[in-house]
Amino acid sequence: MAETAAHGDDAAAWPSSSVDLSAITEAEAADHIAQLTEMLSKANSDYHRDDAPTITDAEYDRAKRSLAALEEKFPQLAHPDSPTQQVGAAPSDAFGKITHAQRMMSLANAFDEAEVAEFVSRIRSFLGLEPEEGLDFTAEPKIDGLSLSLRYEDGRLVQAATRGDGTVGENVLANARTIADIPDTLNGTAPKMVEVRGEVYMSHDDFAALNAKGGARIFANPRNAAAGSLRQLDPEVTRSRPLKFFAYSWGELSEALAETQMRAVERLESFGFKINRLIRLCHTVEEMIAQWAAIEAQRASLGYDIDGVVYKVNDLAYQNRLGFRATTPRWALAHKFPAEIAWTRLRDIEIQVGRTGALSPVARLDPVTVGGVTVSNATLHNEDYIAGISSNGEKIRDTDIRIGDWVKVYRAGDVIPKISDVDEAKRDGSEKPFTFPETCPECGSAAIREPGDAVRRCTGGLICPAQAIEKLKHFVSRGAFDIEGLGAKQIEAFYRDDILPIRSPADIFTLAARDRENLAKLKNREGWGETSAQNLFDAIEQRRHIPLARLIYALGIRHVGEVVAADLARYFGSWDKFVAEIDAAIPAAERHMLADDAILHERAAAEAEGRRARISATREKVLSQEPALGPEAVAAYETLTNIDGIGAVVAQSLCATFSQQKERQSIDALVGHLTVEDAEIPDMAGSAIAGKTIVFTGTLERMTRAEAKARAEALGAKVAGSVSAKTDILVAGPGAGSKATKAAALGVEVIDEDTWLSLIG
Ligand code: IVH
């Protein structure tokens, strides 16, 4: 089932239309779930395999919503293969997988003009451009569809892949061939091999006609319709759907297309692709903003959905120098259109406890459509936001937000909807002010706010079921262990299960063994069968081998996201080295945390006494307290905080986690079940600097510091901020001072900029 039903991404918001949820028992729910599952599975195969629908779309949607509502109420009954789990995505193994020759990136976003100006000046400074040197950008609509990569060899279409997770996509060649805008053979002078990238989308008219025609499910918006239509098991279904395609980019090439973005796009057109007519070349930030405004003014009359404007550096040699961050190019930016808004009633405020203990208020709303998507939940950020004050104590609204209020909801792109305003005129006195809890609603532990933190956090750690469950959900999520068949719903159910519980990550890896010893087998449970149980055990087995970066990310440590985890993995290379360094750093990290507390007190005292705070003296005093810190601890802490991209906040968070007994036991138990793959040092044939630690100092004349760092990292080196015994090379430009002296004392190799340039080719 590759379609998305009309309720958008907010299925739980809909009342069940055929089952009364309020009084239902678990046994009754299990019955209903079984019936609905059977009915929907049959409807799916009638519709897709046999092309002979047996129920109406409305019946289908109603059944699916009922099932979703039941599963939401009784997560322990939710089956991993439930038809509700297949919304918006065909079973992923239905399509072959394709590893992209070059990753398909996403785009950094900007929401206002200041961010656009900042983007331009960041690029100028990265490239080290003088004020008089020009820097042109293309500006073009950001099409709201799904991206597709088309590979042509000798002018013939040989491969078509969706973006997937950016690294691996799905093979949709047969479906892509049915799209009229996608040529089977290229015209003119195309390179021997070229990957053309662009957006598959559906026009407003075609979308309306498709939804009106019936026979197909009702789609929430043209993008879902395009996605559902492209990811069809039967290419004939795709052929019957009016999909279109704009080419705007490329992947691997056997030869360069042109010297500029603009000319390259023109070449794509000459091969026979549709390109977007609104693309313009801009010479200044003002021209970029003007083109953005011009495109926005035409938004309603274009006949297809766009959600912003994409700016790209025009000079492809510059693009090449700028390169990529973890998931986005440095040379492009999506400037989004303002968010869409709607007014609705705030029914209730609930507190959700996150993986790091943060208490987040969530607004439960009367369902309302905002820009084509039904919204019934929105974030309220934190308690200050509800009270109407910003994180630095300024008033952001005249009033607090109360239960029963009419509130303004807005959403921009894919981000979680937010509440931005209250209509005070609509108040009738029945509205209830909200008191933020000071204990965790899930485990009863104290929920405290650290000074300077806007967020109140549960102090229960792993004894808090909400934190434990959220940590587990994170653990199995996509960038982490990504275990097929073990998603958020199954985690909820297994956590509460008494026969075969999963309460910590290690439990996942003992699941199969425990099931073998149990009389009550998983396969005999409601909602499970021989195949689904075995598939789950197999999927878990596959993940016993795990790359270091994924493991670090999976632990769900505060401030350690995918990028930081990758940096740490690259730096330490192996799990053992990583843990040894943290263990060694713990005493120093604890001392620094004490010092931070002391500084906060000193600040408050200084303010009360009307004097300047003595910050470094206060830190020094705490650091030099008895017992004195050992030199290994000081050095290890310095190593950690010196890693580029990692500072005191991350270092302290890592040390705090590893020194907490319960957390540590949980991590050690987990790792005992795993084979952790060492971080790969990028395979840079001929790279003289792979695996080396480099420090830059002094002025570089031919390349900015930012570019030098990006180049070093792309060639597999680590870049550190200061010289230590671990430094391999110091690149010293004119004006290098104490770092050069220290390097000489430590016997570190010191080279000048010319040698550096020849080293990186
Ligand atoms: S360029 C390396 N240009 O937006 C950057 N992307 O948020 C390649 N998109 O995944 C993308 N219109 O699916 C580019 N004119 C445009 C686009 C565009 C839509 C999509 C694309 C990408 C997503 C990133």
147 Cβ inside 6 Å of ligand 1: yes
pLDDT tens for residues 117-151?
999 999 999 999 999 999 999 999 999 999 999 99
Q: CA 666, CA 20: separation in Å to the nearest integer?
A: 41
Could you say which architecture CATH assigns to the domain 11-83+342-433?
Beta Barrel (2.40)
| Of the candidates 537, 524, 349, the residue with the CA atom closest to the CA atom of residue 433 | 349
Q: Looking at ligand 1, which atom is closest to the CA of residue 332?
A: 5
248 Cβ inside 6 Å of ligand 1: yes
pLDDT for 414: 59
CB-CB contact of 219 with 228 (8 Å): yes
| Of the candidates 57, 54, 53, 59, the residue with the CA atom closest to the CA atom of residue 36 | 59
Q: Does residue 142 carry a catalytic annotation?
A: yes
Q: Whose CA is nearest to atom 12 of ligand 1?
A: 142
CATH of domain 693-759: 3.40.50.10190
527 Cβ inside 6 Å of ligand 1: no
Could you say which architecture CATH assigns to the domain 549-677?
Orthogonal Bundle (1.10)
Pocket test for ligand 1, best of 150, 291, 292, 310 (most atoms within 8 A of CB): 310
- Write the single-letter amino acid at 467: Q
* Beta-sheet pairing, 359-370 with 340-353: antiparallel
Q: Do domains 464-503+510-543 and 549-677 have the same CATH topology?
A: yes
105 Cβ inside 6 Å of ligand 1: yes
**580, HSE (Cβ side, Cα atoms, 13 Å):** 7
Name residues whose C-beta falls within 8 Å of residue 120's C-beta, 6 or more positions apart in sequence. Answer: 135, 137, 285, 288
Q: Looking at ligand 1, which atom is closest to the CA of residue 140?
A: 15
Q: CA 643, CA 639: separation in Å to the nearest integer?
A: 7
Q: Whose CA is nearest to atom 24 of ligand 1?
A: 106
The secondary structure element, H or E, covering residue 259 is none
Name residues whose C-beta falls within 8 Å of residue 448's C-beta, 6 or more positions apart in sequence. Answer: 438, 456, 457, 459
The domain locations on the chain are: 11-83+342-433, 97-325, 464-503+510-543, 549-677, 693-759
- Write the single-letter amino acid at 674: L
Name residues whose C-beta falls within 8 Å of residue 342's C-beta, 6 or more positions apart in sequence. Answer: 368, 369, 370, 375, 408, 409, 410
Fold of 464-503+510-543: DNA polymerase; domain 1 (1.10.150)
Please tell me the distance between residue 194's alpha carbon and the centre of ligand 1 in angstroms.
18
Please tell me the distance between residue 4's alpha carbon and the centre of ligand 1 in angstroms.
22
Q: Whose CA is nearest to atom 17 of ligand 1?
A: 142
CB burial readout 107-120, b (16+ within 10 A) else e: bebbbeeeebeebb
Token pair in block for residue 322: 């700028």
CATH of 97-325, one of 3.30.470.30, 3.40.50.620, 3.10.310.30, 3.90.1170.50: 3.30.470.30
304 Cβ inside 6 Å of ligand 1: no
CA 744 to chain centre: 43
Is residue 53 reached through a cis peptide bond, with omega within 30 degrees of 0 on the bond before it?
Answer: no
pLDDT for 245: 98
CB-CB contact of 537 with 508 (8 Å): no
pLDDT for 210: 86
CB-CB contact of 2 with 232 (8 Å): yes
Task: Map residue 105 onto helix, strand or coil.
Answer: coil
Q: Whose CA is nearest to atom 18 of ligand 1?
A: 142
667 Cβ inside 6 Å of ligand 1: no
Please tell me the distance between residue 234's alpha carbon and the centre of ligand 1 in angstroms.
27
210 has which bridge partners?
none
pLDDT for 704: 84
The pTM assigned to this predicted structure is 0.62
pLDDT for 84: 63
Look-up of token digits 């040390």: 655
106 Cβ inside 6 Å of ligand 1: yes
CB burial readout 367-401, b (16+ within 10 A) else e: ebebbebbbbbbbbbbbbbbbebeeeeeeebeeeb
pLDDT for 51: 35
Please tell me the distance between residue 106's alpha carbon and the centre of ligand 1 in angstroms.
6
- Spans of the chain, pLDDT less than 70: 1-20, 22, 42-62, 80-81, 84-94, 214-217, 372, 412-415, 681-686
Pocket test for ligand 1, best of 105, 107, 163 (most atoms within 8 A of CB): 107
Q: CA 419, CA 407: separation in Å to the nearest integer?
A: 7
pLDDT for 184: 96
Q: What is the four-CA torsion angle of 561, 563, 568, 570, rounded to 10 degrees?
A: 150
Token pair in block for residue 107: 């785009």
Please tell me the distance between residue 142's alpha carbon and the centre of ligand 1 in angstroms.
6
Please tell me the distance between residue 107's alpha carbon and the centre of ligand 1 in angstroms.
6
